[in-house]
Structure 1
Amino acid sequence: MELNPADIKVFLNHIYEFKKGVRRMVLYTTNKKYEAFAVKRLEKQHIKFIVQPVDDERINLFFGCDECIDAIRLLVDRPLNRLTPEEDFILGAMLGYDICMQCRRYCDRKARHLAS
């Protein structure tokens, strides 16, 4: 298996930021071919994680604090594009996304949801 150094560098930087407390939870979307490498690294460092298939080629890898991953197990039980506007908002907030942008995204998604 050939690993792309740029993809691995991003993943390792996410782990670094998590370990330093910059992030409490990470969502890393990557090619399935990196799954074994990523899982092995997270297990070795005793970091809790969840792997969610995206399609035939990609996965979402959530990892972080136990409490966050426990919440993700309850919240993300289907593809991310099928989350309700409220679930999407909670996920974005948990990932540390800009709260004003999340509010705008929530309002836009809610308006589209109500219009349909």
Structure 2
Amino acid sequence: MFLLCVIRARAAVLLFSWTAGVMYSTLFTMPYLLVAHYHATGMWNSEGGGCSEERGLGTDVAVVSSCVFVAQLLVSVLMGLAVKASGSTAAVVAVAAALAAAAAVSATKITYLDL
């Protein structure tokens, strides 16, 4: 994403834009796989160290969906401020690159399907 901001050529857009697709596919796949895995292995019940409240898979999927879409809403609202402050639409890609790096760092703290 950062290279899209730095290199301003059509070939770079075609070459690097697949990373956005990988990011979106991961964003809309991994959280739900993790929720299903946590429920299947009992990591969210009282024996697995989670809370003692009974809740179903549907409730947790709804919470994850809400988090994903609230995050998108916040980024969309803040993106206008970034473009106005920088005076260029390249700020969208630069902010996306910074947030993707932050997400990659925080993703190292998650248990990924016994990996």
TM-score range relative to shorter protein: under 0.3
Larger radius of gyration: 2
Give the TM-score taking structure 1 as reference length.
0.27
Q: Per residue, is there more helix in 1 or in 2?
A: 2
Determine which structure has the larger strand proportion and give its number: 1
